Amino acid sequence: MKQIHVAKHAPEAHLVRGFLESNGIAAVVRGEFLTSGWGELPVDLCSVWIENDAQYDRANALLVAFLRGDIAREFRDQNWRCPKCGEQLEGQFTACWKCGTRRPA
């Protein structure tokens, strides 16, 4: 298991974990429940770790592109409508935020 990202807070860590998992990279969040003590503890408590060290280079490249906004820009003109609930979604989303239905192929 290898650390891939140090987050500022738990929601950021879970966003990164979810992004990596949506790209086939198993990841876990560690230290999220220690953030209330940040005033006295080291700041790298809440972090994301990948389970397979062999996927580190791919995970890092994906994460850098994600954090720079490259992925959002790539899909910005590919909006879609959820076939189940009708919600209008931006192109970078692979599932409906409202009902969880996966984006059609």
**Domains defined for the chain, CATH in brackets:** 2-68 (3.30.70.2350), 75-105 (no CATH)
- HEC string of the chain equals CEEEEECCCHHHHHHHHHHHHHCCCCEEEECHHHHHHCCCCCCCCCEEEECCHHHHHHHHHHHHHHHHCHHHHHHCCCCEECCCCCCEECCCCCECCCCCCECCC
Q: What is the pLDDT of residue 92?
A: 79
When pLDDT is averaged across residues 56-75 and rounded to a whole number, the result is: 90
Q: What is the pLDDT of residue 93?
A: 84
Residue 73 has pLDDT above 70, yes or no: yes
Residue 41 has pLDDT above 90, yes or no: no
Q: What is the pLDDT of residue 40?
A: 57
Q: What is the pLDDT of residue 60?
A: 97
Q: What is the pLDDT of residue 88?
A: 94
